[in-house]
Amino acid sequence: MAPELPIWLAWPVVAVTGLSLALLLLFAAHRMHLLRLSRRTPPREASRWEAPLPMVTVQLPIYNEAEVVTRLVDAAARLDYPRDRLQIQLLDDSTDETRHRAARRVAHWRERGVQVEHHVRERRRGFKAGALAEAMPRAQGEFILILDADFVPPRDLIRRLLPPFMDPEVGMVQARWDHLNEEASLLTRCQALLLDAHFFFEQGGRYAGRRFMSFNGTAGMWRRQAIEEAGGWSWDTLTEDLDLSYRCQMEGWRFVFLPEVGVPAEIPEEVRALEVQQKRWGQGGIQGGRKILPRLLRGRWPLKVKLEAAAHLMAHLAQPLTLVLGVMLLPSAVARRSLGLEELLVLDLLVFAGATLSFLVFYSAAGRRRGRPWATLLPTATATLALGIGLNAVVSGAVLRGLGGDNRDPFIRTPKRGERRRLRYRPPRGQVDRAMKWALASWLWLCALAAVSWGYLPTLPFLLLFGLGYTWLLVGELLDDPGRGLRARVPGAAREAVSGDAPPSPVGVDSPVGVEHFAHGADLAHGDTSCEGEPAIHPQGSA
């Protein structure tokens, strides 16, 4: 027999569920609004560079990237651009054999006349943002192209990104991300859809609609003057790219997105690697919103620009809202029946259909832009929806930390595999994260069984989708974890090695995933702050 809730409890349960759902529907409407904006005709940009070729600096920030550093340096050195107009800065904060591999490759290309510089910081401050800021005084370029370690730029990338800079108001030009390993698994295919939807419709919509857009941390070129006038790189958030993007555009610079220019990159193939990336992006995005929104909302920009920027910067709030909705699905149905509102139970099915349809349209449209066939696209889009739900189990906590203003979490970069079968650097094993997935998966499957037993069938599709999402990432993490051999924790010696000033590890020793401390209140515009403390556990910040 189905249970009932007392009146005093039933109303709050219904109210919390309804509020969460209402806010999530607003985020869904915003996503569809961006899809509509992306169909507008974008601003007309110059298609040719009609002046003497300028000096360009290519910056390659790396940290313990032994498996991909050779490929990265080779690809940068082979860029089709006059050698006397090209400077390459390899910004190497590594503590392992990456330094030695990088040095060898730099020497190789310098012997062949390529201007490649290998910059090593013995005292690392501010992780990626700190490395970029420290390299700026030595950068010779009027324009600066930034590439992360797992990206492989096409030879003509500089020449394709330069023409929009013929407009002196353009401060940054962003290319889209392509995928080196999209077909590795269902997990990578779903991430490819997520990324394609972001670039084609979110970036594309903001660009075509003349809203604030963001640099994605890599595969984009900056006008040096724009960086300097915006105050330079700052490391007081985990997404330095988003922070600088908004500061730059609030100074009056215009950003350009070129969807026809793609730069291939590696997609995380293991669940923990993906979760580390998403936690960093979620927490950093909210930190950026807390930092930027007060000034932006006080400014003189049109209301539609302010509203879209607020939705953009606070978009990761959808993660904890989705988690609350999932937990409350069955209690809410029980509460409505207890209040005599049984006729509203059918709304669960209608809301499920509407919510899932909007996301399926969004992801499927992105897949069609890539020419993916419908036969494989629809199942992948459905799995992508489940993946997004499953991620809120671990991302929600990071979002709440960013909302609470705690800026002391470390920067943990996304592990890259390169040509190895397994990751050399492994993220710290998140016991709390794993417990959350266990708890949520168990709760959702129990709720699904109860829904069948008690007759709450309209709620069942929601429960099954949520249960599948949490179970997928839980099982995926367990299958990915070797349990032995490769290190899955950050041992004491490694903590010293990554805390800021320790010498690099011996050549050939596998290191844990890069952990860089997030200095509380540190900002390059207001002086340096050393990174100290114990490691703890994190796009658009990348790496």
Residue 441's contacts (CB-CB under 8 Å, 6 or more residues apart) are 467, 470, 471, 474
Dig out the tokens for 469 from the structure: 């999402």
In the residue annotation, 481 being an active-site residue is answered as: no
Helix (H, G, I), strand (E, B) or coil at 50: coil
Taking the C-alpha atoms of residue 472 and residue 357, their distance in angstroms, rounded to an integer, is: 21
97 in the Ramachandran plot: left (φ > 0), alpha (ψ -120 to 50) or beta?
A: alpha
Is 93 in the active site?
A: yes
- Alpha-carbon span 224 to 240, nearest angstrom: 16
Q: What is the spatial distance between Cα 138 and Cα 117, in angstroms, rounded to a whole number? A: 10
Task: Spell out the residues 6+ positions from residue 507 whose beta carbon is closer than 8 angstroms to its own.
Answer: 96, 97, 100
Strand arrangement of the beta sheet that strand 86-92 belongs to: 116-120, 86-92, 56-62, 143-146, 220-223, 170-179, 254-265
Residue reference for tokens 């390899």? 90
Task: Identify the active-site residue in 93, 243, 348, 523.
Answer: 93
Contact 402, 286 (CB under 8 A): yes
Q: Report how far residue 436's alpha carbon sits from residue 477's, in angstroms, rounded to the nearest whole number.
A: 13
CA nearest neighbour of 192 among 202, 182, 203: 182
Collapse the DSSP code of 270 into the 3-class scheme (helix H, G, I; strand E, B; otherwise coil) and give the result. Answer: coil
Cα gap 295→316, rounded to integer Å:
20
Among residues 96, 148, 196, 241, the one annotated as catalytic is: 241
8 A C-beta contact, residue 265 and residue 179? yes
Instruction: Decide: 381 and 367 in contact? Cβ < 8 Å.
Output: yes
What is the C-alpha separation between 518 and 511, in angstroms, rounded? Answer: 20
Could you give the residue numbers annotated as active site? 93, 241
